[in-house]
Structure 1
Amino acid sequence: MTQAALRPSIWRPRVLVRGIVLIVTLAALGLLFEGLGLKHLLEQGWIDEHIRGQGLTGEALFVVVGALFTAVGLPRQVVAFLAGYAFGIVIGTGLALLATVTGAVGVFFYARFMARSFLARKFPDKVSKLDSFLADNTLGMALVLRLAPFTHNLTTNLVAGVSGVRPLPFFAGSALGYLPQTIVFALLGGGIELDPVISTAVSVVLFAVSTVLGLLLWRRYRKDRDEGDVS
């Protein structure tokens, strides 16, 4: 047996290089957001100056910045809130959803093409669990993941990219799962100029409903899986 065959696969040069590229890229993005103050882009003052009233240019800029914002793991709820504030509830919901899905697509394919070997060997248990979770009904299970209140958006995108999950059903399920909270926070943001009491009350109700739905779907999945294991 050759020396290369004996060497653990995670230590092979190509795998290491891809892993290092992933780590350096994520670290650089974090430093860029911190050092240049980019984390303050999506704030009310910036929205007023560069986004509101700027037509298609403002909308496109918002989607690009919102996608970058969510891609590095910052809260998608903030994007939805400010989209509602800048564009109103209906258009804001659509643009925030587009930004969030775009961010997810970018991270997914980055992980798949640049870091698959490294992450699959570094976190085999997580990748295996997600593969198993998404194998039978990718769209439905992606919906459950996005609705469940305890899953992390960036981690899910990275691990899904590393796994063998089919992209289109995963993105479609993700978009459906993102939608309830996107509506909730766009409604909150749009409510600043409407009736804040009513918009807040409706948002609380919708958030509670989406959270309960996510938990129920998660419990249903766990129950079906346990019953399948027993049989």
Structure 2
Amino acid sequence: MIINRLANKRNILISATIVIITVALYWFSQQSNFSFSQLSEQIITALTLTNPESHLFANIALLLVILSLATACALPRQIAALIAGINFGATIGAITALSAATIGCIITFSVSRFLLSERITARYPTQLAKLSAFLCQQTFIKTVIIRLLPAGSNFLTNIVAGVSKVSMKSYVSGSFIGFIPQMVIFSLAGSGIRLGAQTEMLASGILFLIALILSAYLYRQHKQSSVETA
């Protein structure tokens, strides 16, 4: 009970922080000489990984490979979506980031299950026991809930899940569905940076808050149903 309360307070704090930062940046840009377009150009330059002279399909394939390997090696999926949004805009960026996060999930899960099982079991016994107990039943829906939550390590979750006895098919498909909201949100934010559009940035912050509230609600409903059926 105490853990659930602390988790709820943490989610509320994260939500409040995101809203405050988003509103503060918007207000600051309106009240000062701050140039959002100049900041956007600097971020775009730093995170542009594609070649403007190459064909769109080639650039998508290149970024997909880079982000797939990067997410498999612990790059947060939110950052991957932001980069994809900056490079390709909201729609193509979200699709590219979603594909990359899913492929990265498969890579990490497979390496963990088939190559590093003994080492991981010895190194993360507590995390493995907790996640295995949580995912042993209703793997798909529970994985969706985990992926909807912005907190936690995607990389570590994939590693521990790979060592556990959960179904790979259910885990990966649940991850794919659960990834979608944040991929859309952060690709939209990346697109806003790319275009220098404050409206898209503000919209992404609001959508993130809505997704956070929804994930907390789904988690609470699932906990209640689990208690009632126990």
Q: Same fold (TM over 0.5)?
A: yes
Residue matched to 1:94: 95
In the aligned structure 1, how far is the partner of 2:111 from the partner of 2:126? 20
Residue matched to 1:115: 116
In the aligned structure 2, how far is the partner of 1:124 from the partner of 1:93? 35
Cα shift at 1:157: 0.4
In the aligned structure 2, how far is the partner of 1:52 from the partner of 1:145? 39
Residue matched to 1:148: 149
Is 1:176 equivalent to 2:177 in the alignment? yes
Q: Deviations over 1:126-174 (max 9, x none)?
A: 2222122112211111001111232210110000000011111111111
Worse-superposed segment, 167-176 or 218-227? 218-227
Cα shift at 1:224: 3.0
Which amino acid is the alignment partner of residue 220 of structure 2? R
In the aligned structure 1, how far is the partner of 2:78 from the partner of 2:160? 21
Contact 2:71 2:104 (8 Å CA) reproduced = yes
Cα shift at 1:44: 3.2
Residue matched to 1:210: 211
TM-score, scaled to structure 1? 0.74
SS at match of 1:182: helix
TM-score, scaled to structure 2? 0.74
SS at match of 1:192: helix
In the aligned structure 1, how far is the partner of 2:174 from the partner of 2:150? 16
Contact 1:52 1:58 (8 Å CA) reproduced = no
Worse-superposed segment, 121-130 or 138-147? 121-130
**Alignment CA distance shift 1:99-1:56 (3 Å):** same
Cα shift at 1:93: 0.6
Contact 1:51 1:62 (8 Å CA) reproduced = no
In the aligned structure 2, how far is the partner of 1:170 from the partner of 1:226? 23
Residue matched to 1:136: 137
- Identical counterparts, % of pairs: 32
In the aligned structure 1, how far is the partner of 2:147 from the partner of 2:204? 18
Residue matched to 2:17: none
Aligned ranges 1:34-113 → 2 under 5 Å: 44-45=45-46, 47=48, 50=51, 53-113=54-114
Can you give the 5+ residue segments of structure 2 that lack an aligned partner in the other structure?
Answer: 1-42
In the aligned structure 2, how far is the partner of 1:156 from the partner of 1:109? 13
Cα shift at 1:228: 4.2
Q: Radius of gyration: which is bigger?
A: 1
Which amino acid is the alignment partner of residue 199 of structure 2? I
Residue matched to 1:127: 128
In the aligned structure 2, how far is the partner of 1:88 from the partner of 1:197? 14
In the aligned structure 2, how far is the partner of 1:211 from the partner of 1:46? 26
In the aligned structure 2, how far is the partner of 1:187 from the partner of 1:52? 24
Contact 2:145 2:178 (8 Å CA) reproduced = yes
Can you give the 5+ residue segments of structure 1 that lack an aligned partner in the other structure?
Answer: 1-41
Cα shift at 1:92: 0.9
Which amino acid is the alignment partner of residue 220 of structure 1? Q
Cα shift at 1:193: 4.5
**Alignment CA distance shift 1:143-1:54 (3 Å):** same
In the aligned structure 1, how far is the partner of 2:129 from the partner of 2:103? 25
Which amino acid is the alignment partner of residue 139 of structure 1? F
Worse-superposed segment, 181-190 or 44-53? 44-53
